Amino acid sequence: MRIMKVSESSRKLGQTDLRVSSVAMGAWPISGMTSLEVNDADSLATLRAAFDSGIIFFDSAYCYGANGESDRLIARAFESCRDEIVIATKCGLHWGADGKMAHDASAAAIRRECDESLLRLGTDRVELLYLHAPDPKVPIEESAGALKALLDDGKARSIGASNFSVTQLAAFHAICPISAVQPPYNLIMRGIEKDVLPWCAEREISVCPYWPLMKGLLAGKLARDHVFDPKDGRTKYPMFQGEEWLKNQDLVDDLREIAADVGRTVSQLAINWTISQPGITSALCGAKRASQIEDSAGAMGWELTAEQRARVEAALARRGEPVSRAAV
């Protein structure tokens, strides 16, 4: 039995007739690209737990897995209820022969990656197709034109843009209508409030950010004395280093007190704050275990009081401006 009916937390995606849950599940962790501690059984259980918890919005990408693992897992998990979920996927990035991520947002690559993703997903269309990132070698107008053709062909019901500046969004939107934008955004990484959020609000474009927990920082589970593995990619971000790390731990301590008073986990508080911000439609939460996505889903269906929101803002004021909000 599902814990929450979709209608209780669903939101309109841009100017489309699509409805999405305010928490989306990101499929990157189950793709196996950053952790060997994944297997199909756990991944399928995680996807199904998300659905059972009220999440109907699932976010994949052509490059999520060496051979499209995230797409294939979504297809297996929801074969019997495909029409009950909203699938977003992304194109324009792939793994090169050298094992590194490479851009290719040419028209030919976009068409090819879309077709391959549809085949992996076992469907004839996706509800939302993003350009994963601008390709510095390809004019935005060419990429936008290719995505507009896929929209016109019915292979995508709507189009999105991920990791774009406002200038790039404007150039893209002039060729192909954008329904959703996907930037990083969370309690301490709020740069889009200055430009992207207002630009999208004026045009009724949804904003569906990733990193609402800032790569685990805002989940409240990393101890102050945590020692990161040298191979852990988080060590390159200023907020995981030195004085910034200590300030963030102080913030998490403040959030932990507020969360306890609300009767929620720290991660639920952080995600709820994100999805409650003006202009935010859905927050993308990654997970590789059922318990993780069940916790994230618990951020839906409730609101902070004005006093609780004020306490969060006071905690953010004590933390101060991060050294770098724009590191991606």
**Residues with active-site annotation:** 64
Task: Assign 115 to helix, strand or coil.
Answer: helix
Count of Cβ atoms closer than 10 Å to residue 69 Cβ: 20
Which backbone phi and psi does 137 adopt, to 5 degrees?
-95, -10
**In the chain, which residue ranges form alpha helices assigned H by DSSP?**
40-52, 69-77, 107-121, 140-153, 166-173, 196-202, 242-262, 266-275, 290-297, 306-319
* Closest by Cα among 303, 308, 316 to 218: 316
* Closest by Cα among 138, 70, 77, 146 to 108: 146
Question: Cα–Cα distances in Å, from 202 out to 11, 14, 15, 283?
Answer: 17, 11, 12, 20
Task: Report d(CA 136, CA 172) in Å as an integer.
Answer: 14
174 burial class (0-12, 13-18, 19+ CB within 10 angstroms)?
Answer: exposed
